[in-house]
Amino acid sequence: MSRLVMKFGGTSVADLDRIRNAAGKVAREVANGHEVIVVVSAMSGKTNELVALVEATSPMFDAREYDAVVSSGENVTAGLMALTLQEMDIPARSWQGWQVPLKTTSAHSAARITEIPTDNLDAKFAEGMKVAVIAGFQGIAEDGRITTLGRGGSDTTAVAFAAAFDAERCDIYTDVDGVYTTDPRITDKARRLDRISYEEMLELASLGAKVLQTRSVELAMRYKVRLRVLSSFEDVTENSGTLVCSEEEIMESNVVSGVAYSRDEAKMTLVSVADRPGIAAAIFTPLAEAGVNVDMIVQNISEEGRTDMTFSCPVGQVARAEAALNAAQERGEINFRGLIADRDVCKVSVVGIGMRSHAGVAAQMFQALAAEGVNIKVITTSEIKVSVLVDRKYMELAVQALHDTFGLENAA
């Protein structure tokens, strides 16, 4: 019998009505002849409530106890979902992480999945269970302690189960109906994509499109799990949502699949740094130690023996970055003449797997921006992505221009 994994996030199980609605979607797949593994998050708001209790109790909390407390939200939803399915006469059973057992590393609050034995669930499926409801986000370490998987943990749980049980597909039900060519709030020409490759999805996720966590997409790509993103609040058909899959499943790749943006960026420039081997390490090590998430990095030769170094980071981390760099200067580890922070920039990116076989995408992008009078401040490229920093005030304009120039409104 074919297996399907269905994952419902917090807003999809926010109250009993929504749990019933989600259970209806599960019932439909059971009627279609599937054995289903359902992965649930905590009811929305519950995890934050528990985190607040832990933080109020102990600011420097023990991560083992944090995990024991915070994982309880998913346990409640799993039980309620199993009961709801039973009310619909569907043989269902809930499973907490330790019952499966979903084995993880002991890195509490950020554990990685090491193994999902299939024998317990397989035995129950063989006895007639139609749906196993799994409490997402949690597992068990070798010492018997509860672990949690960190941000996006339930998506990762779902993908890992799909891989372990060789599921036909992993459907991620959420509050949007798929992956779009760009943010529909920026342009009403944004269009839902039927399919997108793992690689493109990874770039879009890391660029700020919040549909799926990067980590779950990476896992799906590694194990070739077909992921479908779709809405909990609409009727489901064969063509609902967006399928995230291998490039081979996408007949005609678009040159550009989407335009992403990240609003709150800052650009920092170290002016006239004494250039020597190891200078980049001398700059970026203290930044990493200070917890600054450096994104783009560009180096220009300015004069003999000296160089300008530019990087971007979230605007909220500028003060921390300045402190770290000034401290390194005082310790004599680096030697710059000036430090300039531009807090009013944003990042706009085009992503597309077709770029690999299509020259000229970057040039077409720069022309489109120039035509709108948008000045480009920093450029970086990867195999399937071109990103630029521009003044924040041009963000919407830039996204709209790029969406138009690459014909995304009409893409297949």
Regarding 83 and contact with a second copy (CB under 8 A), the answer is yes
What SS3 class is residue 175?
Answer: coil
Whichever of 60 and 251 has its CB closer to a second copy, that residue is 60
Instruction: Quote the DSSP letter at residue 331.
Output: T
Residue 15 phi/psi, 5-degree rounding, is: -150, 180
Does 156 interact with a second copy (rule: CB under 8 A)?
no
Q: Which one, 93 or 403, has the nearer CB to a second copy?
A: 93
Q: Scanning residues 288 to 327, which ones bind a second copy (CB under 8 A)?
A: none
Q: Which of 5, 6, 13, 19 binds a second copy (CB under 8 A)?
A: 19
Q: Does 144 bind a second copy (CB under 8 A)?
A: yes
Q: Which of 1, 56, 251, 359 binds a second copy (CB under 8 A)?
A: 56
User: Closest approach of Cβ 219 to a second copy, in Å?
Assistant: 27
List the one residue from 78, 250, 268, 365 that touches a second copy (CB under 8 A). 78
d(CA 4, CA 196): 20
End-to-end CA distance of the chain: 33
Q: Is the alpha carbon torsion for 254, 383, 357, 364 positive or negative? A: positive
Position 149: which residue type? Answer: L
Does 68 participate in binding a second copy (rule CB under 8 A)?
Answer: yes
| Of 13 and 270, CB closest to a second copy | 13
Amino acid found at 148: T
Q: Which residue has the tokens 């760099």?
A: 325
Using the rule CB under 8 A, is 98 a contact of a second copy?
yes
Note whether 57 binds a second copy by CB under 8 A.
yes
Close Cβ partners of 71 (under 8 Å, ≥ 6 residues apart) = 97, 135, 137, 138, 146, 148
CA 197/CA 160 separation, integer angstroms = 18
Q: Which stretch binds a second copy (CB under 8 A): 96-104, 189-197, 348-356, 376-384?
A: 96-104
Q: Min. distance of Cβ 131 from a second copy in angstroms?
A: 12
Q: Which stretch binds a second copy (CB under 8 A): 83-91, 107-115, 385-393, 403-411?
A: 83-91
**Residue 314 preceded by cis peptide, ω within 30:** no
The mark string for 187-216 relative to a second copy (x by CB under 8 A, - otherwise) is ------------------------------
Which stretch in 55-63, 193-201, 216-224, 402-410 sits in contact with a second copy by CB under 8 A? 55-63
| Residues binding a second copy: number (CB under 8 A) | 35
The CB-of-152 to a second copy minimum distance in angstroms stands at 22
Contacts of 221 (CB under 8 A, 6+ apart): 198, 199, 202
**Residue 93 is a binding residue for a second copy (CB under 8 A):** yes
For residues 29 and 70, give the distance between their C-alpha atoms in angstroms, rounded to a whole number.
30
**Residue 180 per-residue DSSP state:** B
The residue type of 264 is D
d(CA 18, CA 177): 16
CA 281/CA 309 separation, integer angstroms: 12
Size of the chain, expressed as the number of residues it contains: 412
**Does residue 123 bind a second copy (CB under 8 A)?**
no
Residue 16 beta carbon to a second copy: minimum distance, rounded to whole angstroms: 6
Site of interaction with a second copy (CB under 8 A): 16, 19, 50, 53-54, 56-58, 61-62, 64-66, 68-69, 72, 75-76, 78-80, 82-84, 86-87, 93-94, 96, 98-99, 120, 144-146
